[in-house]
Amino acid sequence: MCGIVGLVNGHPVARDLVAALRRLEYRGHDSAGIAVAGERLDTHKVLGRARDLSALVAAADPAGHAGIGHTRWATHGRAELRNAHPHCFGGVAVVHNGIIENHAELRAALREAGHDFASETDSEVVPHLIAEALAAGADPLSALADVCDVLEGSFALAVLVEEVPDAIFVARRGSPLLVATGDRVAAVASDAVAFAGLPVRFAALADGEVAELSHDGLRFAVQIAEARAWSAPPVAAGTGAAGGFAHDTRREIAEQRAALEATATGLAALDLPGAVRDATRLTVVACGSSLLAAGVARDAIERATRIPVELEVASEYRDRHAAPAAGGVALLVSQSGETADSLAAMDRQEAHGCPTIGVVNVTASAIGRRAAGAELGVAATKSFTAQLLALMTLGLRMGRARGTIEAGFDAALSAALDAAPALVEAAQAAEPDCIAIARRIATEGEALFIGRGAGAALAGEGALKLKELSYIRAEGYAAGELKHGPIALIREGSPVIAIAPGGPGLPKLLANMSAVRARGAHVVALTDAAGAAACRGAADGVLVLPGASAEEAPFAAAVALQLIAYHVALLLGRDVDRPRNLAKSVTVE
Ligand code: AGP
């Protein structure tokens, strides 16, 4: 979380820094700021979106050829201008991503030495500490290395020093940071999208490295990586009204067919690792929508492979006491590939010697280039259905390799995976019905999503999408659990969305729907042709989605749930692409 960027170039960098921050904004958008080195450090900050920096910077037109920038997701200190980065002291400007866990002790010690602070942030101690080290005679690079030694927690830092106006000093521990170099140009950023359009190649800074970036390239105070994998920057992804859509989120809902086709092509070229083929159990470790995608795919994987699939919340899993089961394989599922909780869980797996497989949508990786493509909206949409496709494909391939999948299920699952791209496109036609459902939810100000099996996980995803985009309180429940407590929430008119495709689970779900309806709920069933007739008798509204089997149903239902959440958010005037309090890459624990 938080996006940081730095640029050293042969011409003024301020406008390029703001452009890069706009591309990094999905990492946080509480405030934005830049500092540019000239005769003195020139700092500009705004509360809110990076686009509002553009006017400030155009008016000031800073001349410096080196600068740093930051887009913030608040952890320590409210979203206020005084807490916006860069933080400056004594001719040192710093942008920080991560959490300095010992900031209170450091702040107290600095206060005793006469320092005053302008912000409530953990980050502000860093420029003070560097300024102290410089005053004691250290050069900037060793000053930063020494300061990193006293910091606890996770950090990616980019530092500008007034006395060295053509260099940026960088360091990382835990939080991601990429460095880029080219002909008399150098850059640093949290994410490769910041380098789009720059004539550079980029690589990851290794954990613990401290370096100086200048026209002459990289110089290290601490160097850990012996060799680096250098890549070309990505092409800048479209934003806003691209393709005639009002929001990136809506465009990404619409482009799911292409995303799934690209994912299927990438998966076809992938060899099933031996450890996965022979696994005695799969433990999926993930967060948010990524975990819910695994929940939807679990039934299909278990049926194909005959091994248990456990679902673990990454932030909880890392602190579990029991060791992973022998013969088990962990599947780390993450759109961004950066989620701190998932990475910590991965460390735990590796410490126990348990094989770990990543299912990611990172465009910089070889698989990622054939994955769903960059997703700019904070809400997972096309990455969710792409994860679903990837996980169900994994189940099919494992089932075949192990010889455990029955012929009939092999045929049904293969047909669903082949049909998935067309299904997510055909489901877009449900938008008018989704708008009608959205109106009721927006008016009532609440929603309960229910389902059984894969539908229960989809219910969770429907509720999560609605919460994050519209800020309406929503619950997603396994329908059979309602009677154990949540049914008390039902009142006259409560909107209930049931994920109710035809299949063996439907009769019990119909009974659950009838039970909430009997208590005044307004029930809408998201079903398919096989379930439509039965649902008509148990719901107030029925939306018949495309799909010819229980394996196909989740793809169309996921799109309908996305459209419902999107339209509730629109009706309530929410910032769809940048929902409050959220960031797309969650790099703090
Ligand atoms: C989904 O809409 C959310 N943005 C969020 O729950 C997300 O899925 C979660 O933070 C996990 O992120 P990851 O897939 O990048 O690891």
State the pTM of this model. Answer: 0.83
- What is the whole-number distance in angstroms between the Cα of residue 466 and the centre of ligand 1? 14
Residue 144: CB partners within 8 Å, gap ≥ 6? 130, 157, 159, 169, 170, 171, 210, 221
Nearest CA to ligand 1 atom 4: 379
Place of tokens 């082949």: 418
Instruction: Respond yes or no on whether the N-terminal peptide bond of residue 324 is cis (omega within 30° of 0).
Output: no
Q: What is the pLDDT of residues 348-357, one digit of tens each?
A: 888 888 888 8
Q: What confidence score (pLDDT) does residue 236 get?
A: 64
Nearest CA to ligand 1 atom 5: 288
Query: Which residues surround ligand 1 with Cβ inside 6 Å?
Result: 287-290, 334-336, 339, 342, 378-380, 468, 586
Q: What confidence score (pLDDT) does residue 366 get?
A: 37
Ligand 1, pocket-test mutation among 253, 336, 385, most atoms within 8 A of CB: 336
Nearest CA to ligand 1 atom 10: 288
Nearest CA to ligand 1 atom 7: 288
Q: What confidence score (pLDDT) does residue 355 get?
A: 86
Q: What confidence score (pLDDT) does residue 237 get?
A: 55
Amino acid, single-letter form, for residue 179: V
Ligand 1, pocket-test mutation among 248, 290, 470, most atoms within 8 A of CB: 290
Atom of ligand 1 nearest to the CA of 292: 8
Q: What confidence score (pLDDT) does residue 370 get?
A: 43
Q: How far apart are CA 188 and CA 170, in angstroms?
A: 8
- What is the whole-number distance in angstroms between the Cα of residue 90 and the centre of ligand 1? 39
Amino acid, single-letter form, for residue 370: R
Ligand 1, pocket-test mutation among 73, 252, 284, 287, most atoms within 8 A of CB: 287
Closest to 290 in 3D by CA, of 327, 250, 351, 331: 331
DSSP secondary structure code for residue 380 in this structure: -
Is there a contact between 248 and 379 (Cβ–Cβ < 8 Å)?
Answer: no
Atom of ligand 1 nearest to the CA of 584: 4
- What is the whole-number distance in angstroms between the Cα of residue 186 and the centre of ligand 1? 31
Q: What is the pLDDT of residues 308-347, one digit of tens each?
A: 999 999 999 888 888 888 889 999 999 888 888 888 888 8
- What is the whole-number distance in angstroms between the Cα of residue 196 and the centre of ligand 1? 23
174: number of CA atoms within 13 Å, CB side?
21
Q: What confidence score (pLDDT) does residue 266 get?
A: 87
Closest to 320 in 3D by CA, of 283, 276, 359: 283
CA 119 to chain centroid, in Å, comes to: 28
Q: What confidence score (pLDDT) does residue 477 get?
A: 95
Atom of ligand 1 nearest to the CA of 287: 11
Atom of ligand 1 nearest to the CA of 380: 2
Q: What confidence score (pLDDT) does residue 343 get?
A: 84
- What is the whole-number distance in angstroms between the Cα of residue 563 and the centre of ligand 1? 18
Helix (H) or strand (E) holding 413: helix 407-426
- What is the whole-number distance in angstroms between the Cα of residue 424 and the centre of ligand 1? 20
2 is catalytic: yes
Nearest CA to ligand 1 atom 6: 288
Q: How far apart are CA 420 and CA 495, in angstroms?
A: 28
Q: Which domains does the chain have, with CATH numbers?
A: 3-222 (3.60.20.10), 246-405 (3.40.50.10490), 428-583 (3.40.50.10490)
Atom of ligand 1 nearest to the CA of 378: 4
Vertex 246: Cα angle to 74 and 587 (nearest 5) = 25
For residue 244, give the 3-state DSSP assignment: helix
Q: What confidence score (pLDDT) does residue 107 get?
A: 97
Give the chain's residues under pLDDT 50. Answer: 238-241, 365-370
Helix (H) or strand (E) holding 44: strand 41-47
Q: Where are the alpha helices (DSSP H) in 255-351?
A: 256-268, 274-277, 288-305, 314-317, 340-351
Q: What is the pLDDT of residues 364-399, one digit of tens each?
A: 543 444 455 667 788 899 999 999 999 999 999 999
Nearest CA to ligand 1 atom 9: 288
Selecting among 2, 88, 148, 434, the annotated active-site residue is 2
Q: What confidence score (pLDDT) does residue 38 get?
A: 82
Q: What confidence score (pLDDT) does residue 339 get?
A: 86
- What is the whole-number distance in angstroms between the Cα of residue 417 and the centre of ligand 1? 23
- What is the whole-number distance in angstroms between the Cα of residue 577 and the centre of ligand 1? 14
Quick one: angle between helices 454-470 and 553-571, nearest 10?
A: 20
Selecting among 382, 465, 467, 584, the annotated active-site residue is 584
Q: What confidence score (pLDDT) does residue 201 get?
A: 95
Q: What confidence score (pLDDT) does residue 362 get?
A: 63
Q: What confidence score (pLDDT) does residue 325 get?
A: 83
